Amino acid sequence: DTGVSQDPRHKITKRGQNVTFRCDPISEHNRLYWYRQTLGQGPEFLTYFQNEAQLEKSRLLSDRFSAERPKGSFSTLEIQRTEQGDSAMYLCASSLVIAGRAGTVKNIQYFGAGTRLSVL
């Protein structure tokens, strides 16, 4: 299977605990994105990486959230001191974007199955 994989699929934690999620993108993809989805909403952008560089962070990403992509391959998303409002589906996506080739790149992002976080 060469799709985007996320681990774990489900995580239940108590308020105040730290959690870490992992995402393995499609191997040749240079961009990796994190989104969060709550019930009745579409996915909301959190942050993205071009190779190992984190290029943009949403205002949704409070200082309790940190994401890394140390070698430009897999990524981790850590939430410190979890709160009940952090309960959501965390989705990872990857894409291949070649800078400078205007109008030729299809910014199609391929998503993993997500990690469902429940904070009790």
Partner 1 sequence: DQQVKQNSPSLSVQEGRISILNCDYTNSMFDYFLWYKKYPAEGPTFLISISSIKDKNEDGRFTVFLNKSAKHLSLHIVPSQPGDSAVYFCAASGFWLTGGGNKLTFGTGTQLKVEL
Which structure tokens are listed for 82? 């979890």
Torsional sign, CA 24, 29, 34, 39 = negative
Question: Interacting stretch for partner 1, rule CB under 8 A, among 14-22, 35-43, 67-75, 78-86?
Answer: 35-43
- 112 binds partner 1, rule: CB under 8 A: yes
Judged by CB under 8 A, does residue 103 bind partner 1?
yes
Distance, in Å, from the CA atom of 11 to the CA atom of 59, rounded to the nearest integer, reads 24
Interaction between residue 94 and partner 1 (CB under 8 A): no
Q: Look up residue 114 and give its amino acid.
A: G
Give me 112's structure tokens. 């993993």
Q: Decide if residue 75 touches partner 1 (CB under 8 A).
A: no
Is 74 a binder of partner 1 (CB under 8 A)? no
Contact between 32 and 48 (Cβ < 8 Å): yes
If one asks whether residue 71 binds partner 1 (CB under 8 A), the answer comes out as no
Token readout for 86 is 């952090």
Closer by beta carbon to partner 1, 75 or else 112: 112
**Which residues sit at the interface with partner 1, rule CB under 8 A?**
4, 6, 33, 35, 40-45, 48, 55-56, 58, 91, 93, 95, 97-114
